[in-house]
Amino acid sequence: ARYRAGEGWYDARLTAYAPLQLDPSTAALHYAQSIFEGLKAYAQPDGSVATFRPEANAARFARSARRLAMPPVPEDAFIAAVDALVDADRDWVPTGPDQTLYIRPYQLASEPFLGVRPASEYLFLVIASPAGAYFPRGVHPVSVYLSEDYIRAAPGGTGDVKCAGNYAASLLPQQEASALGCDQVVYLDAVEKKFIEELGGMNLFFVLGSGDDAELVTPELSGTLLPGITRDSLIELARTMGHTVTERRFSVDEWRQGVADGTVTETFACGTAAVITPVGQVKARTGDFVVGDGTPGPLTMKLRESLLDIQHGRVADTRGWLHRVA
Ligand code: PMP
């Protein structure tokens, strides 16, 4: 769909995937007035297709739009657009474990002008592609690099919304982490550089203790990390299983010390793309350490199965998280 100031949203349509024609002075290309979302559609056992909590993506998209001074897409129009695309692509929704259709809604300032002000014209698009497992090695612990040089988000910035610029700034840290043999970057808070925030595209959880008494800690939504929908879902699932989940600040020292004395038993990352992935090796200038024994921890796997069971329709959806599309 298109937006023009004074007219609102218009020209909503479903078209074949094709290159976009953009004016060379298109605002988004110069000033990054551009936001996006990521969600998935899952083939259900009864032959239907469902998305997972799309209303949460719609709400986050509208929040991202407001932070970037863009007109929000009405939340029902966002969901209707995703539904229309999934319905049109229903033959492309793969079946099988971990196979999904990844959906990417995005909005960009399409007005052609050079100058730093909010645009008066926008494009809202949704594209999709079949996706397999995010990490080709399967559920193996990923290695992470603690970023002490780069900050992902600072108070008052755009770190708690999903805008293109956040990811542009993360490319160099990611490249440097890869050169050091690490899969992902762990970002710390901008002020004290002590507290763990998240990975470049995933939220983090720490497991304290083990068995039925295991507790979970995840960094609180301080305004500088993305409120992940997977994060939110896992908090709910873990509490239903009887585990205490605390959202609070969690420092690198507490992580390292906890791993050393055995109180921190597991660490995992979560997000739409990777679902849940255990964290193993941690590299840091202040000293490397390894979480667990190199295999995925029991609570990590239990939560992963529990979430995948809901998404793939293998258990009853008691929370109304699945949205039937086709
Ligand atoms: N943090 C960041 C920076 C992300 O890009 C993502 C992916 N959207 C997440 C966390 C996880 O969010 P979600 O569970 O909604 O995919």
Please state the ipTM of this predicted complex: 0.99
DSSP per position, 305-325:
HHHHHHHTTSS--TT--EEE-
Contact 169 CB / ligand 1 (< 6 Å) = no
Please report the atom of ligand 1 found closest to the CA of residue 272: 16
Count helices and strands (H / E) in the chain: 8, 17
The CA distance from 124 to 71, in Å, is 10
> Which residue's CA is the nearest one to ligand 1's atom 7?
201
Beta strands in 94-177 (DSSP E): 100-109, 121-131, 142-146
User: Per-residue pLDDT tens for 198-214?
Assistant: 999 999 999 999 999 99
Contact 230 CB / ligand 1 (< 6 Å) = yes
Using CA atoms, how far residue 167 sits from 39, 163, 171, 173, in Å, is 17, 8, 7, 10
The CA distance from 159 to 150, in Å, is 13
Domains, the chain, in order of start with CATH, read 2-132 (3.30.470.10), 142-311 (3.20.10.10)
User: What count of other Cβ atoms lies within 10 Å of the Cβ of residue 303?
Assistant: 26
Average pLDDT, the chain: 96
pTM, to two decimals: 0.97
Residue 309 CA to ligand 1 center (angstroms) comes to: 20
> Which residue's CA is the nearest one to ligand 1's atom 3?
201
Please report the atom of ligand 1 found closest to the CA of residue 230: 14
User: Per-residue pLDDT tens for 116-158?
Assistant: 999 999 999 999 999 877 666 568 899 999 999 999 999 999 9
Bridge partners for 35 per DSSP: 107, 163
- How far from chain centre, in Å, is Cα 79? 18
User: What count of other Cβ atoms lies within 10 Å of the Cβ of residue 176?
Assistant: 15
Residue 172 CA to ligand 1 center (angstroms) comes to: 19
**DSSP at 163:** B
User: What count of other Cβ atoms lies within 10 Å of the Cβ of residue 296?
Assistant: 21
The CA distance from 194 to 187, in Å, is 10
Contact 227 CB / ligand 1 (< 6 Å) = no
> Which residue's CA is the nearest one to ligand 1's atom 9?
202
Q: What is the pLDDT along the chain (326 residues), one digit of tens a residue?
A: 999 999 999 999 999 999 999 999 999 999 999 999 999 999 999 999 999 999 999 999 999 999 999 999 999 999 999 999 999 998 888 887 778 999 999 999 999 999 999 999 999 999 999 987 766 656 889 999 999 999 999 999 999 999 999 999 999 999 999 999 999 999 999 999 999 999 999 999 999 999 999 999 999 999 999 999 999 999 999 999 999 999 999 999 999 999 999 999 999 999 999 899 999 999 999 999 999 887 899 999 999 999 999 999 999 999 999 999 97
Please report the atom of ligand 1 found closest to the CA of residue 56: 15
User: Per-residue pLDDT tens for 295-323?
Assistant: 899 999 999 999 999 999 999 999 999 99
Residue 70 CA to ligand 1 center (angstroms) comes to: 21
Single-letter code of the amino acid located at 229 = I
Contact 44 CB / ligand 1 (< 6 Å) = no
> Which residue's CA is the nearest one to ligand 1's atom 12?
228
The CA distance from 258 to 101, in Å, is 38
Q: What is the CA radius of gyration of the chain?
A: 20
Residue 1 CA to ligand 1 center (angstroms) comes to: 25
Please report the atom of ligand 1 found closest to the CA of residue 200: 3
Contact 37 CB / ligand 1 (< 6 Å) = no
